[in-house]
A and B are shown apart, each in its own frame.
Chain A
Amino acid sequence: KQEVTQIPAALSVPEGENLVLNCSFTDSAIYNLQWFRQDPGKGLTSLLLIQSSQREQTSGRLNASLDKSSGRSTLYIAASQPGDSATYLCAALGGSYIPTFGRGTSLIVHP
């Protein structure tokens, strides 16, 4: 059974800081790793999808990396802004199991 853990569970930082959110998974035989953002009362918005053949993906101030051998992915947020405040979830996709989510990291960026 795949298990996904996200650390830290919560994070509060001042505006402008560079952040690293961590996602670890127990079974490295995944196909893809997807990062999502969830705002309160809303659905999950896809941020980045890293395919198993890739090591990282970038979108604007976001950069996600994937190290399958160590069972880890990181989401790097550069120059954080108050609008980045949300919960960030990662999901391990593929292999021999259903899509499996971590519990998320709740991020607050204060002005």
Chain B
Amino acid sequence: DAGVIQSPRHEVTEMGQEVTLRCKPISGHDYLFWYRQTMMRGLELLIYFNNNVPIDDSGMPEDRFSAKMPNASFSTLKIQPSEPRDSAVYFCASSLKGIAGELFFGEGSRLTVL
């Protein structure tokens, strides 16, 4: 299995630009999680999906953030407009057995907003 695949690995953009991060979960996993990691706050859950449906988006910081999962093999996290404080590493993870199941992470997308 290829594991969780994220793209891009690195993104440098200017404040105000739109950023789209992509994730392909492990085939067959029906839970998908988006996390953000910073030195200040550690790993924070932004949103998670079950069977392509958003279940809990209470961690999404602002309306500038949105996430979609149009099918079982693809999810996006969009930031529009981006701000310097959004600079972080964004991780996608998937699980087969719900929010209690073993988590598998992608390599992350490192975002820098200038």
- Is the pair B43, A89 in contact by a Cβ cutoff of 8 Å? yes
Complex interface bits, A82-111 against B, C-beta within 8 A gives 1, otherwise 0: 000000010101110011011110000000
Taking the closest CB of chain A, its distance from the CB of B55, in whole angstroms, is: 9
Does A77 reach chain B (CB closer than 8 Å)?
A: no
- Is the pair A44, B99 in contact by a Cβ cutoff of 8 Å? no
Contact of B103 among A31, A34, A41, A103 (CB under 8 A): A34
- Is the pair A98, B100 in contact by a Cβ cutoff of 8 Å? no
- Is the pair B107, A99 in contact by a Cβ cutoff of 8 Å? no
Number of chain A interface residues as a range: 20 to 34
- Is the pair B100, A43 in contact by a Cβ cutoff of 8 Å? no
A17 vs B100: C-alpha distance in the bound complex, in angstroms? Answer: 33
Does B45 reach chain A (CB closer than 8 Å)?
A: yes
A30 vs B100: C-alpha distance in the bound complex, in angstroms? Answer: 8
Contact of A93 among B42, B91, B101, B110 (CB under 8 A): B101
Task: Please report A residues at the B interface, Cβ cutoff 8 Å.
Answer: 30-32, 34, 36, 41-46, 49, 89, 91, 93-95, 98-99, 101-104
Contact of A98 among B4, B56, B91, B108 (CB under 8 A): B56
A41 vs B101: C-alpha distance in the bound complex, in angstroms? Answer: 25
- Is the pair B43, A101 in contact by a Cβ cutoff of 8 Å? yes
Taking the closest CB of chain A, its distance from the CB of B25, in whole angstroms, is: 13
Taking the closest CB of chain B, its distance from the CB of A42, in whole angstroms, is: 6
A31 vs B99: C-alpha distance in the bound complex, in angstroms? Answer: 9
Q: Which residue of B lies closest to A42 (CB)?
A: B107
A49 vs B91: C-alpha distance in the bound complex, in angstroms? Answer: 20
- Is the pair A46, B107 in contact by a Cβ cutoff of 8 Å? no
